[in-house]
Amino acid sequence: MKSVYAIYRKEMGHYFVSPIAYVAVGLFLILAGVFFDSDLGQAIDYAMQMQMQGMQFGAAQPFDVPSQVMRAFFSVLAVVFLFFLPMLTMGVYAEERKRGTMELLMTSPITELQIVLGKFLASLTLFAAMLLPTAVYLVYMFLHSDPAPPWRMLWTGYLGVMLFGGALLALGSFISSLTENQIVAGVITFAGFLFLWILEATTHSTGTAAGQVLQYLSVIGHYQDFTQGVIDTSSLIYYGSFIFLFVFLTVRAVDSMRWRRA
């Protein structure tokens, strides 16, 4: 674990020295704030319209504003991740290979698994730090809601965000390990995320057995369960398997670098 922590600390130091991390986090928080304000305003306007109609027709329809805002906000975050997560993963290995520092890691007494785990945990920590300020919006809304919604919905939503983001980070890290060019890694990662998005859209239009299989393999489909406050065991297994698969593939890709230099 000391070797993993050494790689983790090195990566965290690199993230907070590089301006890319600050730019990505800053832009993400600005967009997240704008989208939350927009979702909250739309939900409040719709609730007022429902109340006005209820007063006219004598039967007001209840509308859960916090739950609606939370579902809309987490759905928007998934779209934002499509553009921002490639910025966090494109240089994880590509920049190391370009600068030649990857060779130093490969000749040090550290295993490939330790390198990959240290880098993945560092990117996951940066992702969590990027998300943390957004919780202030939802916590403030929950505290000022009457009646207050169950807090379980909030924790479940952020659990889904972390699993979803972890899966995309694992995929992006694997792609970064295949090239020495950050721009190429970023473009291919974005294309991969976009493919997963298209895959989710096509599964709803097919009712065949193949469509059902693709629907289960959809990263977005499992994420939607968490945004509704539902923890499905199959979704936990899916994300765990997805992360394990691409971490394993990244280890194999890093291992191939050692053999090419041998």
**Nearby residues of 138 by Cβ (< 8 Å), 6 or more positions away:** 36, 69, 70, 73, 154, 157
Answer for the pair 148, 80: CB distance below 8 angstroms, yes or no. no
Answer for the pair 142, 149: CB distance below 8 angstroms, yes or no. yes
Answer for the pair 171, 88: CB distance below 8 angstroms, yes or no. no
According to the model, what pLDDT value does residue 13 have?
84
For residue 149, whether the previous peptide bond is cis, meaning omega lies within 30 degrees of 0, is no
According to the model, what pLDDT value does residue 207 have?
59
pLDDT tens, N- to C-terminus, the chain (262 residues): 788 888 898 888 888 787 777 888 888 999 998 998 888 888 878 777 777 766 666 555 666 777 888 888 888 888 888 888 888 888 888 887 777 777 777 777 788 898 899 999 999 999 999 999 998 888 888 887 776 777 788 889 899 999 999 999 999 999 998 888 888 998 999 998 888 887 766 665 555 666 666 667 778 878 888 888 888 888 899 999 999 999 999 999 888 876 655 4
**Global pTM?**
0.88
Question: 115: helix, coil or strand?
Answer: helix
Q: How far is CA 223 from the centre of its chain?
A: 10
**Nearby residues of 240 by Cβ (< 8 Å), 6 or more positions away:** none
Q: Supply φ then ψ for residue 183, to 5 degrees.
A: -65, -45
According to the model, what pLDDT value does residue 121 have?
94
Q: How far apart are CA 105 and CA 99, in angstroms?
A: 12
According to the model, what pLDDT value does residue 125 have?
93
Dihedral (CA of 237, 242, 243, 244) sign: positive
According to the model, what pLDDT value does residue 260 have?
57
Q: How far apart are CA 48 and CA 254, in angstroms?
A: 56
Using the structure block, give the residue that is written with the tokens 């765990």: 240
Cα–Cα distances in angstroms (integers) from residue 226 to residues 40, 106, 153, 161, 238, in the given order: 19, 39, 8, 8, 13
Q: How far apart are CA 214 and CA 178, in angstroms?
A: 26
Report angle CA 107, 110, 114 to the nearest 5 degrees: 135
